[in-house]
Amino acid sequence: MKRVHIIGSGIAGLAASVRLAKAGFKVSVFESAAHPGGKLCEMNLGAYRFDKGPSLFTMPHLVNELGELTKTKSQFKFQKLNDVCHYFYEDGTRLKAKSDLNAFADEIHQHLGESREAVLKHLEHSAQLYHYTADLFLHQSLHKPHNFFNIKTIKAIGNIKKLQLSKTMHEANAKRFKNPKTVQLFNRYATYNGSNPYKAPALLNIIPHLEYNIGAFMPNEGMYDITKYIYGLAKEQGVEFYFNHKVEDIVIENEKVKGLKANGSLFESDIVLSDADMHVVYQKLLPSKYTPHKLLNQEKSSSAYIFYWGIKREFTELGVHNILFSDNYEKEFEQLFNSDKPYHDPTVYIHISSKVCKKDAPAGCENWFILINAPHNKSHLPVGYFDELKLNVIKKVNRILKTDILPYIEEESTWDPFTIEKDTSSYGGSLYGNSSNNKFSAFLRHANYSSKIKGLYFCGGSVHPGGGIPLCLLSAKIAGNMIIDKHN
């Protein structure tokens, strides 16, 4: 039985451990924290429970697929959201994005004056982008030459004009819609991989397909239930977990993996799969001769400053997901990627899991997860804009929701770019590795394997195909299949 050591128990590392153990490998997972999940973890503040990291759940079939693979008796329970997101603008405009496409088109027509046909056509185009590119970009390695000589590649190349590679996301959206508010609504999907819609390719308009045509979902027990479910599958398959074990080196001999060192001890294996940020791998775990300097020097994705507020009141105008838009989106993104602190009028995202998971807050209360897009932390030092940012967030919430929120905050904690890096080893707190502010970004992410070191593989948000729960699960599948095909 061949042994695989996995570095990190983020969502990709967990999913890969399930796949590899099911395929007959002896799998061990090394995690520096005391719990699994990476960014997909949870926290309790008094009587409130919070999901600390990712808050949106799409493509649930990728989680169910793991359960089906292992033939487990346990079920992963979730529900589809009828209201995908509530949107708020500074001039008082409000709308609810419905899961029903016609109702969504009606809502935008009523509040923003767009034609229903323009909205439906945009979502149809998003579905086409997925159809043309998913098999090529998301379900296989872009770094294996034989993957470019098949029907998937021919299909993508044959539709290359429809991919709008020469346009930015904003340019494509501004051409389709007449109201700047509608453009802003669809531009925001660039933030799903930490990018700038005014620079990122129009291909990112694939993302609304996942949220509207497939659907937005919520686990019945909160987002951390995804981690708990996959971790449970891994334990059922006999995966060994070494928590509080910080990996110090990947051991290489004659350009081959020989194992890893953690907590001062050597753990031998011929295969290592890293779910760690690629910067950590190359700067701390491998000899410098292997470092891909060009890749590591690419522009990083955005980070986040998150406030966790226990609110002793219910707001009926809010849903599970809420966006309070900045009045100048372009300026906000310009500062996000060219400054060291968030814009003075930031877009405020509020996630309230207690709208679905009633146990997450006391009766009559809500648990607010408030995320502000923040620059990745180039200095790697503690960030110093807490007071200014909190004041700006409170002002915006009060202005748009017409309230005085401060007296209702009875619990508070934060997670910022510095502490995100400290807790999860994400370089500079960058949430998605390198940004996609380049039309060739899909081709520029790190491969799921090392071309220089035999037996070394990669999964997770900093490598192909990208960040976010669905893409991390797909990276685990790609890397896992590579290992199975090569070593089993």
163 within domain boundaries: no
* pLDDT value for 443: 65
Binning pLDDT at 50, 70 and 90, where does residue 40 land? very high
Length of the chain: 488
Binning pLDDT at 50, 70 and 90, where does residue 445 land? confident
* pLDDT value for 71: 95
Q: What CATH number corresponds to the domain at position 478? A: 3.50.50.60
423 within domain boundaries: no
Q: Is 297 exposed, middle or buried (0-12, 13-18, 19+ CB in 10 A)?
A: exposed
* Total domains present in the chain: 1
Across the range 89-102, mean pLDDT stands at: 97
155 within domain boundaries: no
Q: Is 246 exposed, middle or buried (0-12, 13-18, 19+ CB in 10 A)?
A: middle
What domain range includes position 255? Answer: 3-39+223-297+440-487
93 within domain boundaries: no
Q: What is the largest CA-CA distance in the chain?
A: 66
30 within domain boundaries: yes
What is the end-to-end Cα distance of the chain in Å, rounded?
Answer: 9
61 within domain boundaries: no
Report the chain's mean pLDDT, rounded to a whole number.
Answer: 93
For 316-334, write each residue's pLDDT tens digit: 999 999 999 999 999 999 9
449 within domain boundaries: yes
Binning pLDDT at 50, 70 and 90, where does residue 132 land? confident
* pLDDT value for 370: 98
pLDDT exceeds cutoff 80 at 283: yes
pLDDT exceeds cutoff 80 at 488: no
Q: Could you tell me what percent of the chain has a pLDDT over 90?
A: 86
For 420-442, write each residue's pLDDT tens digit: 999 999 999 999 998 988 877 66
What pTM, to 2 d.p., does this model score?
Answer: 0.94
236 within domain boundaries: yes
